[in-house]
Amino acid sequence: MEFPAALFPSYFGAGPPREEGGPAPAAGWGEHGQVLEAGPGRRQAGTAFVPRRGGTGESWEPADAAAVPFLPPNAGCWVPSLAPQDILYRGVLRRKLRAGKSGAALDFAKQLGHFFVDHPEDAFGSLGRLLHKNFYLGNSKLRREARGSTIRMTALMEEIDRLEARRGCPRQHLASRLRWFSHLCRDWLFEVPLGLLADCVHEELLLQWAGLLFDDSPTGGALAWLPPEDMGARTGRLVYPGGQAMNHLYFQDVVLEELPRARGSPAQFELNGRIRQVAAARVDGEDFVGVRSDYHCGVWRVPGRTGAAPTALQVIRTCVPASCLTVSPHLPGELAVCTQSGAIYLWSVETGLQRLRHDPQTMFFRDPSSWRWSDFTAHPRVLSCADRTGLQCLDARAPERCHFDLFKVGEEAGCQQGERVVLPMYLGRAHPSQHLVTTQFSMYVLDERLPLVPVLKWAHMMKAPPLFAHLTPGGPGRSHKVLLGASPTQELLLLQYRGGSRSACQLAGPPQKLHSVAGCLQHLPAQLPHRHRLLQQRLGAPAAGLAAALQEDGPRESLLVFQLSEAGDVFCQRLTHKAAQPPAPTSGDEGTAAPGSSPLFDAPASSPPGLGSEDEEEEQTFYLSNLEVIINEEEEEEEEAGTPAAPEEAELPQEPCASPQPSPAVPSPAAALRYRRWLKALSKGCGEPPRHAWPPTLSQKRLFTRKELEAPAGASALHEQARQQLCQAMREGGRIQRWDPPAPQPPALPEPAEGPDPLSARLTAAWSGDWCQWWEERTSFNMAQRQRALRERRRRQKRARGRRSLSASFTSSLTYQSELSELSDGAPPPLSPGCPAALPREGSPPGGTPPASPAPHEEALLSSQSLRCRGIPKERRKTLRDYLAVWAEGPPEPPEPPGSQASQLCIPSSQSQLSSASQPRRKRPRMGF
Amino acid sequence: SSHEHKLNFKKSKEVCLSYIQDAMLQKQWKRAAEFLTFYAESLEKDFSTQYMGPSEMIWRIGTEILCHHSHSSMKEFNSFTEQMKTLGVKRYLKVCLEHAFHLLCNGLIDEAYQNLSLAESWRFGEQTAIQDKEMKLIQAYRGLLDYYSWSKQKTILLEHGQDGFEDLSVEQEMHSCFRKAAVNLKEIIKIPGVWDLFVKCYVDLLEFYGDHNEARQVLNEYAYNSKFPANPNAHVYLYQFLKRHGESKKSLISALKILHDIVPSHELMIDFNTMLQKSKKRKKRRLGLEVIFAALDYAGWKENVKAWSCLARQVKQIVISEKHLDWIKQEWNSRKDWWPAFHFSRYLAKRNWQENESLSYEKALVAGILLGKDCKYFKYVSHQGCKAQVKRFRILKKFVNKHNPVYLRISG
C-alpha cells in the first residue's frame, strides 16, 4: 500500500462548482493537465517530466471490422422501448407549442383518451349501466312518452364523426349539441374523478419522460464475465439475462478462441422480473453473482472449477425498487444493496440485512433523484455510498459516527455546474484504494487515502452518460484498462491509466472508441428495406451491459469485449495487443445475397403498420369503437421552416462527397459466417409479424407521401405503368398480383409446365429475402412434392371409394383438408369470415358424398390433349396436371402462371387462395343430395 | 435567407466536428487533421456564445493531433501553438502553460522556461479568477525550473568545492536562482491545493540555507492547515523532515499518529508500529497493536509479510508475558466476525502456503492464538509445515497448543 511520493499539483477549493458549462465536444483533448518530475534521483542528469495526460499507452487494435454476434439472437420479438414520439405531441399542436417555447410537450390528452378507449368499463362502467335506459342508440324517432327521459345518441355520434372529419380545419366550431352534452356530462360521467385520473396520467407521463431523458435503472450493466480460475485456462463463464422479458438468467461456458464460442447449453434460471443488473466478484476462488431486478435481488455462487453448476443462495424482496447491487470482493457472500427510498444495506448471506443508512435526502446538496449506489472499499467493513451529489464512505460497524466524504460534486473536484454522479465503481483489482466515478461530463479516479481530490480527471466527451464501466487491471508496469459504456448511444470507450502506488496516477494514451453493436449493420447481407429497418432497430437497441475478458495466449494478448443490448443480444469484439499481429482481414464477402430491391417491390401489404416512414409523416390515431381511423398529415411546412424534425435522424449525414467513414474493413470470413447465422436465426425467430385474419387495412397516405405519388419529371415508361396500375388497384381496393406489365408480352413462349426452374425460383426467393427458407424447403421438404404426394393419395382413395364406406371417405377428405391447410406454411388457419375451413360440417349427414370431381373446364384443361396442344412435353404433363389440380378447386380464376411466384412470396395471397378454395368445397356435400 | 444559411453552416460545422471526433477516437490522426482544416473555416463565422467556442476546440484538437500524428515535429507544434495563443485572450495563459508542459515532457527545459517567462510578463486588462490561478501556476512552474537550475549549480559547486576551487560567478548565479525560485514557490504553496512538488523543492532550498524554522513552518502549514486537502504526503514530508533533523521520538510519534488517523493503511505504519513496540510506555505499545491491527484491516495489506510478522511478534510477546491479553481481546472483538473469512479461510491457507511460506507462518501464528488450534488456517499450515519437515512450524504448533487457553480467554 504505497502512496505516491509526490502528486500532480492542483488547486483545492471548497464549495459549489464555479465553472459554468455543459457538454463540450472537444473538452477532453489537447491537455497535459499538469506535469510532474519523472522519478527521484534523476535531477542531476537533466530533469525529465511526465504529464498527467498525454503519455503513451499500450496499443490495442480492433481485430475485426465490427462487433460480431456471440450468441444467437435473443428469443422472441423485442418490443422496442418507449420512444419520444409515443408520448410527445405531434401534429398541428406540436408546431404551435414549439413556436412558443422550446422543450418537449407531453401529449397528455392523447394518453387520457387512450385510457377511456382502452378501459371503458373502468372509466364509465357503472354510470353507463345506470344510464343505459336513458340513452337511445337506434335510428328511429323516440316515442313521445320516452322523450322526456331519453337522449337519442345516434345524432350525437354523427356529430362527433363530423367533428373528426373536420379535424385540423381552422374553422371548426363545436356543434351546439356537443357542447351542451359535454357541459352536461362534465363531472359526473367519469367513474374515476377526472381530476384525479388526470393527475395520475400526468405524473406517469412525466415519469416516462424522465425515463426517456435518462434511464438509470440499467446502471452497472447486466453482463458479467467470470474469468477462468487460472489465467492459462480458456474457459470462462458469461452471465447474462435473456428471454422475452429479460427475466431469465443464463450462465454460459465460453471457450476463448479467435472468436469466442459458447460451449454446451447454459445453466438457466427463471426470475421474477426483468434483470436490471448483474454484478460479480471473486472471493476465495469462488464467484459470487448478484442479480438485481426492480423488486428482487438474488445472489448465486459459482464454484471456480469449470463445469460446476451455479447455485442460488438467497433472494431478498424490496418494497421500493432497488437501484444498486454490488458484490464484495473481500468477503464471500457479502453484497451492498440500495433502494430508491434512500436506504443502504449491507447484505450478508449468513447474517442477513444490516441497514447502514436511510436518508431520502441527498448528501451534499438537494437533488431530486432517488438513485443511490453503494460499493466496497479497501476496508471490508467500510462501504462507499453515493447519490447524484457525491460519495461518502461509511463504516458498517458504526455507520452513524464513522464516515468521511470521498467525492463531492463541487469545487473540490473541479466539477462543472449541473454535473451529477452517474456511476461509481470500486477499482480494487487495479489498486486497493482506487475508485472510479463517472459523471455526464467527466470521469474521475479517486484514492481513498486522499479524499475529495481526484487523482485523475478527464472529460470523456461521450454523448450519453456512461452507465457501464469495466476494469481490466494491468500487471506491474502495465496500464489498467477501463471501458466506459453508454446505454442509448451504445458508445464504448477504452481508457488506460497507470500509477497509484509508487507513481502518481496518469492517463496513458489517447482514449479509443470501440465498435458499437449498431455498427455491424453495414457488414450484414443486404436486406429488403422493411427488414433492414427492423434490423436497424434491433441492432440499435440501447446497450444494457458490458463485460471484458483478458485472454493471454503466450505472448499474444487480447481483450474480448462483450456487449449486451436491451433486446438481449450479446455481441463481442476482440482487441489485440500490439505485440501480437492482428490477422489481415481477408476479402470474403459472400454475405451479399440479394441486391437492394427497388422501392416498388417493397410490397405494401407485407410491411406491418407502424413501420411506415414515420419520420416524414405524422399520424394520429383516433379510436372509434372497433374502427381505426388513421389520419396522416404530411409535414411539408416543417421542411420549409428548415428546423430538423428528429434530431438524431436528421443529423446523420448523407452526403456522398465527403468521406465521413474510412472505407470499412471487411469482416473476416468467420465473422461473416456468424453474421449470416445470426441473421438467419433472427428471421426465423421473429422475422414474420403475426398475420391478421382479415386483410390489413392501410390508409394509402401512410405508404406514400403526396410527393412520392406525384409524377416525377423523367419517369420511365415502366414507372408510369406501375403507377397507373397502382392507382387503379387502389381505386378498386384490390391487390396487385404482378408488377410486370401485361401489354408487351413477349411472343408466347412455351410456358414452363413445372413451376419455375430451380435457378429462377432460387433467385426469386433470394430477391424477396427468403433465400434461407427456400433452401431449407428445397433440401428437406419440397412443397410441391408434398402436394403431389397428397394428391396422389387422394386419387388412390378416389379409386378405392367404391369399396369403402361413406363415412371413411368423409374423414379422408377431412384429413386432406387439414393437411392442406398445414401446407400453407405457418399461416394461421384461414379465417375468412363465415367459412372457417376446418370447421366440422354441421348439418351435413355423417356419410357425405365423396369430394366432387373437378369442374368440367378444369377437366379439359388437365386433359392430356389440351396439354399436348400447348406444346408441353409428355413427361411434364402429369406434373403440371398435379400442380394445377391443387389450384383447380378454387374459384374459376385461371391458375397462376408459375412465373408469378415472386409476387406470391411478396404478397401473402396464398392464404386467401386457400381459404377461398375451401369455400366451394364446403357446399359440395350438399350438392350431392 | 441568412437565417437558413446560418443554420446550415452550424449544422455542417457540427457534422464536421463529429467526423473529427470520430477519427480521433479511432486514432486516425491523418483523417482528423484533414477534417480539421475544413473546420478551421468555422472561425470565420463564430456566432456561438457557447461555453467552448470553435477556437478553443481547434486548439485542443490540433494539439492532440500534433501530439500523435506520425509526421509532426516540435517546430510545427510550436508554430501551431503560437498561432493559437493569438486566437483568444481569455485562453492565452492556459495555452502558454500547456505549451510549456509539452516542451517539458519532451525534455526542452530551456524553451519551456522562456515560454513561462514570456507568459508571466503578459498583461491584459483585468484578470479573471481562473486567469489568476493560471498565472500563479505559471510562476510556480518557473520557480520549479529555477530550482532545478539552482540544484544543478549546487552540484557543480559542491563537486568543485571538493577540489578546493571556488567559482564566484557560479555561486552568484546559484543564489539568484534561489531567490527567483523561492519567491515563486512560496507564493503558490500559500494557496490551498496539492503542491507536493513545490513544497518539497522549497523546503530543500530553505534547508540548504539553514532556515529550518521557516521550513518547519511551511511543512506544518502544509500538513495541518484545514483549508488544504488531507494529503498524506504532507504528513510524510513533515515526518521525514523531523527525522532528518533528529527530533525527539515523541514528536515523530505524534506526527505519525496523525497520519495514522487519516490514513491507517499508510506504508509508514510499519515504522510506526516498530517505533511504538520498542517504547517502554504501556500506552504506546497498546497503540502499536492498534496500528498494526488497523493496517491489516485493509485489502492492500493482506499479503504483507512485514505487517504480519509485526503483529505476530507483538501478539506472541503478549501471550508469553500473559499481560495485557485484554488488548488483544478488545482489538479482536470488532474483527472476529469478519477476519476469519477475510484472512484465515482454508482457501487462503492453501494459497499462502503455496506462494509464500513465511507469510503463512506468521499468519498461522496469529490465527492459532486468535482462533485456537482448531482453526482451519492454523491446522492446514501447521500440518503442511510439519509434513514438509520445517522446524519452525513444529515449534509453532507446540507454542499454539501450549497457549490454547489464551484463545478461550480472548474469545470468551
Is B151 in Cβ contact with A25 (below 8 Å)?
Answer: no
Burial of A798 from C-beta contacts in 10 A (0-12 / 13-18 / 19+): middle
Coil, helix or strand at residue B267: coil
Which is higher by pLDDT, A800 or A641?
A800
Q: Encode pLDDT of A883-926 as tens digits.
A: 655 555 444 444 444 443 433 333 333 333 333 333 434 434 34
Burial of A269 from C-beta contacts in 10 A (0-12 / 13-18 / 19+): middle
Give residue A335's pLDDT. Answer: 95
Q: Encode pLDDT of A733-777 as tens digits.
A: 777 666 554 554 445 544 445 556 777 777 777 777 777 777 776
Question: Which of B104, B152, B300 faces A378 most closely, judged by CB atoms?
Answer: B300
Closest CA in chain A for residue B200: A6
What share of chain A in percent tops pLDDT 90? 31
Widest CA span of chain A, in angstroms?
119
Closest CA in chain B for residue A351: B337
Which is higher by pLDDT, A575 or A79?
A575
Is A433 in Cβ contact with B265 (below 8 Å)?
Answer: yes
Give residue A235's pLDDT. Answer: 87
Residues of B with CB below 8 A from A431's CB?
300
Please give the radius of gyration of chain A, using alpha carbons only, rounded to the nearest integer.
34
Give residue A800's pLDDT. Answer: 62
Q: Encode pLDDT of A383-415 as tens digits.
A: 999 999 999 999 998 888 878 999 999 999 989
Is B341 in Cβ contact with A331 (below 8 Å)?
Answer: yes
Question: With an 8 Å Cβ cutoff, is A511 touching chain B?
Answer: yes
Cell (9 digits) for A489 = 448511444
Residues of B with CB below 8 A from A2's CB?
267
- Chain A, chain B: beta-carbon pairs less than 8 Å apart: 204
Is A3 in Cβ contact with B267 (below 8 Å)?
Answer: yes
Query: Among positive and negative, which fits the CA dihedral A115, A120, A122, A123?
Result: positive
Tell me the pLDDT band of A836, cut-offs 50, 70 and 90.
Answer: very low
Give residue A708's pLDDT. Answer: 61
Question: With an 8 Å Cβ cutoff, is A18 touching chain B?
Answer: yes
Residues of B with CB below 8 A from A513's CB?
22, 25-26
Tell me which residues of chain A, numbers 175 to 194, contact chain B at a CB-CB cutoff of 8 Å: none
**Digits of tens for pLDDT over chain B (412 positions)?**
667 777 777 788 888 889 999 999 998 999 999 999 888 877 766 555 555 677 888 899 999 999 988 888 889 999 999 888 887 777 889 999 999 999 999 889 999 999 999 998 888 777 788 888 999 999 999 999 999 999 888 888 887 766 655 677 788 888 899 999 999 999 999 999 999 999 999 999 999 999 999 999 999 999 999 999 999 999 999 999 999 999 999 999 999 999 999 999 999 999 999 999 998 899 999 999 999 999 999 999 999 999 999 999 999 999 998 888 889 999 999 899 999 999 999 999 999 999 999 999 999 999 999 998 889 999 999 999 988 888 888 898 899 888 888 777 777 6
Count of Cβ atoms closer than 10 Å to residue B82 Cβ: 12
Give residue A631's pLDDT. Answer: 35
Residues of B with CB below 8 A from A433's CB?
265, 298, 300
Q: Encode pLDDT of A29-45 as tens digits.
A: 888 888 888 765 444 45
DSSP state of A826: T
Give the ipTM of the model, two decimals please: 0.94
Give residue B198's pLDDT. Answer: 94
Question: With an 8 Å Cβ cutoff, is A465 touching chain B?
Answer: no
The pairing of strands A135-136 and A151-152 is parallel
Give residue A767's pLDDT. Answer: 75
Average of pLDDT values for A433-453?
A: 94
Q: Encode pLDDT of A453-471 as tens digits.
A: 999 999 999 999 999 999 9
Question: With an 8 Å Cβ cutoff, is A653 touching chain B?
Answer: yes
Strand partners, A282: A287
Is A511 in Cβ contact with B17 (below 8 Å)?
Answer: no
Question: With an 8 Å Cβ cutoff, is A39 touching chain B?
Answer: no
Alpha carbon of A639: minimum distance to chain B alpha carbons (Å): 12
Which is higher by pLDDT, A592 or A261?
A261
Measured distance CA(B162)–CA(B164) in Å, rounded: 5
Closest CA in chain B for residue A36: B197
Closest CA in chain A for residue B134: A11
Question: Which of B52, B155, B233 faces A7 most closely, judged by CB atoms?
Answer: B233
Q: Residue A297: enclosing H or E segment and its boundaries?
A: strand A296-302
Cell (9 digits) for A790 = 397428397
pLDDT averaged over every residue in chain A: 74
Question: Which of A49, A330, A513 faces B26 most closely, judged by CB atoms?
Answer: A513
The pairing of strands A334-339 and A343-348 is antiparallel
Residues of B with CB below 8 A from A34's CB?
101
Give residue A918's pLDDT. Answer: 38
Burial of A710 from C-beta contacts in 10 A (0-12 / 13-18 / 19+): exposed
Is B14 in Cβ contact with A29 (below 8 Å)?
Answer: no
Question: Which of A6, A31, A432 faces B98 most closely, judged by CB atoms?
Answer: A31
Q: Encode pLDDT of A838-876 as tens digits.
A: 333 344 444 444 444 444 444 444 555 555 655 666 666
Measured distance CA(A53)–CA(A510) in Å, rounded: 9
Measured distance CA(A111)–CA(A88) in Å, rounded: 10
Tell me which residues of chain A, numbers 75 to 114, contact chain B at a CB-CB cutoff of 8 Å: none
Alpha helices in B121-195 (DSSP H): 129-162, 168-188
Give residue A713's pLDDT. Answer: 57
Tell me the pLDDT band of A380, cut-offs 50, 70 and 90.
Answer: very high
Query: Among positive and negative, which fits the CA dihedral A500, A501, A502, A508?
Result: negative
Question: With an 8 Å Cβ cutoff, is A763 touching chain B?
Answer: no
Is A381 in Cβ contact with B266 (below 8 Å)?
Answer: no
Give residue A144's pLDDT. Answer: 75
Give residue A279's pLDDT. Answer: 96
Comparing A282-296, A423-437, A866-880, which segment has the lowest mean pLDDT?
A866-880
CA angle at B261 for the pair B255 and B264, rounded to the nearest 5° = 105
Give residue A499's pLDDT. Answer: 87
Give residue A608's pLDDT. Answer: 36
Alpha carbon of B103: minimum distance to chain A alpha carbons (Å): 9
DSSP state of A416: B
Contact predicate A238/A252, CB 8 Å: yes
